[in-house]
Structure 1
Amino acid sequence: MASSTAAAAAVTSLLPPPVGAERPVPQGRLLFRASRAGSRPLRLNPARHHGLSPAPRAAKAVEAGKADPLNVMIAGAPASGKGTQCELIKAKYGLVHISAGDLLRAEIATGTDNGKQAKEFMEKGQLVPDEIVVNMVKGRLLQPDAQEKGWLLDGYPRSYSQAMALETLGIRPDIFILLDMNFLLKG
């Protein structure tokens, strides 16, 4: 649970605070911008909102006559419902679901350069360096299916340095979803 909270903090620290917001974010809420070009913050409170649609995207699609693909990152502790939510989001929006863990295992199984490097670290009982994982994720996000349909990145980034690496590469989600179970447990 701590790693997903740290990852969420890492990602939210990259995003600028909402205009005029001078107080801390209440527990159970995540504030974020829909994109760099987005001028208004989105507020996601799972206790109050269900089935949010990407309104900033819809307005852009009407102007252009064609919808840009939606790019989403989702994070949460084990048993927070990530898998269920990923399936629902994937089905509703037709996104390509990319699980960082599955991607790492696939790269190792197929013997890619990144996979071979990752395997060496894993066999030594070490964590795979961020640079290798970032390269794997970047490569997958840039594949034609993810570019055309949009992507749903599950379980990544998990650290501040991973979030910064994605930011440096210009990879930003339109929406970041944090499934925070803490507010349910405090009730």
Structure 2
Amino acid sequence: MQDVNGSFPGDNKIIVVFVLGGPGSGKGTQCTRIVENFGFTHLSAGDLLRAEIKSGSENGTMISNMIKEGKIVPSEVTINLLQKAMLESGNDKFLIDGFPRNEENRAAFENVVNKKSSARVVLSYDLVDALKPIDEVFESVKAIFAPFHTKVRSSFI
């Protein structure tokens, strides 16, 4: 659902939530609940990179080589994969798991998405204590997502 310029359609605000945390912190569990309860599309940077490698494309070969060498894939490569998946989803609400990994990634994402999107992405950051039981964590998450239809936000969970 994109216009001829590769942008999101209409004047809708794009909601982007960055979901970050260490292995086993409950990111996947909470993302599943957010998708079910709030209609977000869950995009995993790692899954998109692995799919690109599996495709056998020139880009996939480059990604594979960088990973084998222990290097970080350039921000632009990951951002382009994320943006493509966002545009192809037909949604305007996204959970992005495993990205950004650093400040440069975040700034690059904002620059790329804001230049190519007809809608503005507004970022704010909220932290959720994921050490609590799953249901308690989701109560904190729900408080962040409750106003999603009127307030555009991007959060670190």
Same fold, TM-score > 0.5, yes or no: yes
Aligned pair partner of 1:78 in 13, 23, 44 = 23
Q: Which amino acid aligns with 1:158?
A: R
Deviations 1:43-88 (A, max 9, x none): xxxxxxxxxxxxxxxxxxxxxxxx8664322112222211111000
Distance 1:113 1:180, change over 3 A: farther
Q: Which has the higher contact order (CA 8 A, sep 6+)?
A: 2
Cα distance in 2 for residues equivalent to 1:107 and 1:77: 23
Higher strand share: 1
**CA contact 2:41–2:91 (8 Å) conserved in 1:** no
Aligned pair partner of 1:109 in 54, 61, 64 = 54
Distance 1:173 1:120, change over 3 A: farther
Distance 1:133 1:148, change over 3 A: closer
The answer to whether 1:161 aligns with 2:86 is no
**1:168 CA drift (Å):** 0.8
Could you tell me the percent identity over the aligned residues? 36
Q: Which amino acid aligns with 1:111?
A: G
Query: Normalised by the size of structure 2, how large is the TM-score?
Result: 0.61
Aligned pair partner of 2:87 in 121, 139, 142 = 142
Q: How many residues align?
A: 116
Cα distance in 2 for residues equivalent to 1:182 and 1:148: 31
Cα distance in 2 for residues equivalent to 1:124 and 1:136: 21
Distance 1:80 1:179, change over 3 A: farther
The residue correspondences of 1:82-101 to structure 2 (distance < 5 A) are: 82-101=27-46
Cα distance in 2 for residues equivalent to 1:76 and 1:179: 10
Segments of structure 1 that go 5 or more residues without pairing to the other structure are 1-66
Q: Which amino acid aligns with 2:64?
A: K
Q: Which amino acid aligns with 1:93?
A: F
**CA contact 1:109–1:115 (8 Å) conserved in 2:** yes
**CA contact 2:83–2:113 (8 Å) conserved in 1:** no
Q: Which amino acid aligns with 1:71?
A: V
Q: Alpha carbon RMSD of aligned pairs, Å? A: 2.8
Query: Normalised by the size of structure 1, how large is the TM-score?
Result: 0.52
**CA contact 2:40–2:91 (8 Å) conserved in 1:** no
